[in-house]
Amino acid sequence: MSYRFLLEQSPTRIYQRIIESFRATLEQFGHTVLLIDPCQFQDYQDYLRYIQDQAVDYCLITNPKGFISTYLESLQAFLFEQVEIPIIFVHHDNFLSDLHDIERIHRKLAAWQRMQHRSIHFCLEYHNFLDLRSLGIERVYPIRHASEFTQSAQRPELIHEATFVGHVLPSLGDELAGLPVSHRLRADFWARLVNFETRLEPSAITFAQQACGRQSSDLDTLTAKYFYISLLHLHSQFFRGEVLRRIDSSPVTIIGGDPAYLHGVDRNQQIQKDNIRYQSATSDYADTRVIYARSKVNLNITSLQFDQAVINRVIDIGAAGGFVLTDWKADLSQITSVADAISYRSIEELNDKLEYYLHPDHESERRELAEVLHQDIQRQCTYEAVVEQILAKLHATSTADTAPVRIDLGCGPWKAPGFIGVDIAPAPGVDVVADLTQRFPFADSSVDWVRAHDVIEHLPDRIHTMNEIWRICKPNGMVDIRVPSTDGRGAFQDPTHVSFWNANSFRYYCQEFPNYLTLGHLYGFRGTFSLVHLSEEVSDDQVIHVRATLKAIKPEATPSEPLATQSSGESIAETLPLRRLNWLVCPDWQQPEEVLFPELAQLLQAVLTHPDRAEITLLIAVQDIAPDEADTAITAVLMHLMTEAGLEIGDDGPELSLLSQLDRQQWQALQPHLTARVALSSANAVSPVVLPVLPLAELPRQRLSSAAPV
C-alpha cells in the first residue's frame, strides 16, 4: 500500500538532515512525500488549507520546534491538533527536553493525550515510551537513531588521534546557582560523572513527587518530571567539558567547542590543558563523516537527558566505519556485540581505554572492532530499517480491529499465536521490547488476556509483578501464569531465577483467601484477583510447575456503574468459587466489635470445623462497609481463632468469598446457586435475596444429604 506523507522543512541543520533522509527513504519505498516550507504561507490558516487540499495520509513530525508544533494562543491548541490527518511523532531526543518551562511542557503532554486516537509515537528513550503509555496513549513504540552515512570504499588515512565533535563548555562553575533545584541538579551532575551508568530519571521522579505530591495526576507529575530533565539537558555542555577535562594525557581534538557562535555571541571558552586542542565546527555533515572515518578514536559523551538510549553520534560514527569510545548506555548491548569493548563506565576506564586503543600495537584490534560496529549498525540503524519499522506499525494500526488484546509476557522467540509478544530484548516475534521490572508498557485496564509462562520467576519483585498484571488487565481480564514451583527442582536450578513461587503464593492476591489477601494488601498489592483454576504440572528432571488462571476483579471503566467485585448478569456464578453448599451471610458491619466479632468467630469456627467443609463456600456480603475493612475484620477473627482457640486451618477448608455491592441483576442470577442464608443476631435487616434461613446453631447439623441441590 502506498501512502502520501507530509514533511516540513527546517532551518536547523540536524533536523533538515533527518527530514531529507526520511524523504529519500520513503520515496525509495514507493511512497509520495510532500516536503513543504512553512515560510511560504501567510499564516497558519493558509497552511492548514494547503494541507487539506493535498489529500495527505500522514503528517510526519521529526522536529519539535517546527512550525507545525507551534502553540496557537488564540485557539489554546497546537497547530498539529488542527491538522485533520493522523500524526506520526518521531522523538529523536528525550522528548520535551528542548522546553524549559513547566506550562509549555504541560501543554504539549496534554495535547498528545487529547490526540491519542489519531497519532502514533516513536520514542528513543525507554521511559518516554512508558510515560506516554501511562497517559493512555496506546500507539507508542520504541525506535533507534538511524544514519545515512556510508563507509569509504578504501581504508582512509588516520590523521587524528582522539576527537570529539560537538558543543563543549569548560566547567559547570556557577551556572546552576540561580535555579531553585540547583542542589539536586549538582548532585545528579556529579553522580553521573562518577558513574556513567547512573540513571537520572529516578531523581526526576522524586523531584516531581515532591513538587506535586504523590496523589497528583499522571499529567501533572510527568510535567514536573520532564521540566527537571530539561534542566539537566540544559547543562550537558558543561558535563561534557568536565569529562574531557579529566582525560589525563591522551591527545584530544575538540571540533566545535563553545556554541556561542550559534547565537551571535562573541565568546570562545576553552578547556585549558596541554593535551586538548580545538578546531572550528564542521560546515556540513560530509566533513563530519570524514572526521569520524579518519580519527583513531571518536569520543562520545551522552547528554544528561538520556539514561539508556544510544544517541546519533554513536550511530553516525559506526555507519562511517569509525571507531568510537562512548559512555555506557543499556541500549548499546542491543545494537552491537562489541558494546563492552567500546564503552566506558567511569573516568578511569575512559583514560585506560584511550591509552590502550591509541597505542600502535592495538591498531588492528581497533579496526576489527570498528568493522563489527559498522556491520551491526548497517543491519539495524539505517533509515531503511527505521522506515520499515514505522510502515509496519502504520499497517498494523490501519488494519486493527476490535479483537481482544492478548499479550505474551517474556515470550522470547516462542510467542503464542494471536498474542502481542513482550520481552526485554528484540527477537523474532517480540512486538514490544520492555523491561518488566519497570512499569509495564500498557495502559490501565487495556488488556483482555495476559499469558506469563516461565517469566515471573525472572522478575525480582513479586508484588510489583502482580500489581502491574492487575493494573493492565481489563475488568474480568484473564491471566494465565505458569511458573516453576518450589515443590520441585525447577524453581532453584536456573541461575537466573530471582523470585520463587508455589501454589500457596497466589493466595495473597485472590479474594477467595481473604486473610491472605489482607496480608498481600499490607505488603503493597493494590488489586484483587479471583482464582479460577490452580493445578500442578510435572515434567522431566523432577520439575514441577504451578499453573494458575486468575480473573482480574476491578470496577468497570464507567463511573456510573455499580462497584461490583464480580461480573454482572448470568456470568456471576462462573466467577465465584461455588461448591455444593453455598451459604450466604449478611453481617451488620455497623454493630460494635464486641457484638459483631464473637458471632463472626462462632460462624467461622463452625464452618472451618464442619464435617463437609471441603464442600462449603461461605459468601460474605459487605454491602455497608469497604471490602478492605471487612477483610481486615475477618482476618483478625481468623488470627484469634488460630492463636487463642488453637484452631488449625487446613488445605481442605471451606472457601470464603466477599460479595460487595452486587446489583439486582447479579443477585437474581446468583440466587439459584445459594443453599441458605445463615442467620446472625447482628445480621443486616435487609437481605438481598429470599433464601431458606439457617440458624447459626444449626450449621454443624446441616449436611450434604439434607441440603438443597446446587
What integer is the mean pLDDT of 291-314? 94
Domain count within the chain: 4
For residue 667, pLDDT beyond 90: no
For residue 457, pLDDT beyond 60: yes
SS3 content of the chain, % helix, strand, coil (to 5): 40, 20, 40
Q: What is the pLDDT of residue 670?
A: 83
Q: Does some domain include residue 481?
A: yes
What integer is the mean pLDDT of 610-629? 81
For residue 180, pLDDT beyond 70: yes
Q: What is the pLDDT of residue 686?
A: 54
Q: What is the pLDDT of residue 478?
A: 92
For residue 568, pLDDT beyond 70: no
User: Is 636 in the same domain as 580?
Assistant: yes
User: Is 336 in the same domain as 469?
Assistant: no
User: Is 604 in the same domain as 638?
Assistant: yes
Q: What is the pLDDT of residue 586?
A: 87
For residue 580, pLDDT beyond 90: no
For residue 558, pLDDT beyond 50: no
User: Is 227 in the same domain as 341?
Assistant: yes
Q: What is the pLDDT of residue 637?
A: 82
C-alpha distances out from residue 683 to 38, 388, 621, 661, Å: 74, 66, 10, 16
Q: What is the pLDDT of residue 624?
A: 65
CB 96 within 8 A of CB 42: no
CA dihedral sign of residues 256, 259, 263, 268: negative
Give the side-chain half-sphere CA count within 13 A for 296.
21
For residue 151, pLDDT beyond 60: yes
pLDDT in tens, 102-111: 999 999 999 9
Sheet-wide strand order for 616-621: 655-659, 616-621, 581-585, 676-679, 693-695
Provide the mean pLDDT of the chain.
Answer: 86
Q: Lowest mean pLDDT: which of 348-352, 500-504, 679-683, 704-708?
A: 704-708
Indicate the burial class of 663 (C-beta count within 10 angstroms; 0-12, 13-18, 19 or more).
Answer: middle
For residue 627, pLDDT beyond 80: no
pLDDT in tens, 388-411: 989 988 877 665 545 678 899 999
Please say which residue of 88, 112, 142 terminates a domain. Answer: 142
User: Is 341 in the same domain as 192?
Assistant: yes
Please say which residue of 552, 582, 602 terminates a domain. Answer: 552
Q: What percent of the chain has pLDDT over 90?
A: 46
Please say which residue of 357, 384, 411 terminates a domain. Answer: 384
Q: Does some domain include residue 592?
A: yes
Report the CATH number that the domain containing residue 379 is assigned in CATH: 3.40.50.2000
Q: Does some domain include residue 153?
A: no
C-alpha distances out from residue 437 to 243, 251, 425, 440, Å: 31, 42, 13, 8
For residue 176, pLDDT beyond 70: no
User: Is 340 in the same domain as 451?
Assistant: no
pLDDT band at 709 (very low <50, low <70, confident <90, very high): very low
Segments forming the whole domain that contains residue 219:
160-384
User: Is 689 in the same domain as 580?
Assistant: yes
For residue 590, pLDDT beyond 60: yes
Give the separation between CA 580 and CA 674, rounded to whole angstroms. Answer: 9
pLDDT band at 387 (very low <50, low <70, confident <90, very high): very high
Report the CATH number that the domain containing residue 478 is assigned in CATH: 3.40.50.150
User: Is 542 in the same domain as 584?
Assistant: no
Scored b (16 or more CB within 10 A) or e, 265-282 reads eeeebebeeeebebeebb
What integer is the mean pLDDT of 676-700? 76
Q: What is the pLDDT of residue 411?
A: 92
Q: Lowest mean pLDDT: which of 212-226, 241-255, 553-567, 685-699?
A: 553-567
Angle, CA of 12, 13 and 18, to the nearest 5°: 105
Instruction: Name every residue whose Cβ is closer than 8 Å to that of residue 352 and which is 6 or more positions away in sequence.
Output: none
Q: What is the pLDDT of residue 398?
A: 62
Q: What is the pLDDT of residue 422?
A: 92
Give the separation between CA 333 and CA 315, rounded to whole angstroms. Answer: 13
Q: What percent of the chain has pLDDT over 70?
A: 91
Q: Does some domain include residue 563?
A: no
Q: Does some domain include residue 676?
A: yes
Q: What is the pLDDT of residue 361?
A: 95
For residue 8, pLDDT beyond 70: yes
Scored b (16 or more CB within 10 A) or e, 672-681 reads eebbbbbebe
pLDDT in tens, 64-74: 889 999 999 98
pLDDT band at 559 (very low <50, low <70, confident <90, very high): very low
Contacts of 205-214 with CB under 8 Å at 24 or more apart are 207/181
pLDDT in tens, 260-286: 887 778 888 899 999 999 998 888 889
User: Is 376 in the same domain as 440?
Assistant: no
User: Is 104 in the same domain as 174?
Assistant: no
What integer is the mean pLDDT of 642-650? 69
User: Is 246 in the same domain as 285?
Assistant: yes
Q: Does some domain include residue 474?
A: yes
Q: Does some domain include residue 521?
A: yes
Q: Does some domain include residue 155?
A: no
C-alpha distances out from residue 327 to 202, 342, 598, Å: 19, 9, 66
User: Is 119 in the same domain as 211?
Assistant: no
Q: What is the pLDDT of residue 569?
A: 41
Q: What are the DSSP E strand ranges found in 386-455? A: 406-409, 420-423, 432-433, 447-453
Report the CATH number that the domain containing residue 647 is assigned in CATH: 3.40.50
For residue 572, pLDDT beyond 70: no
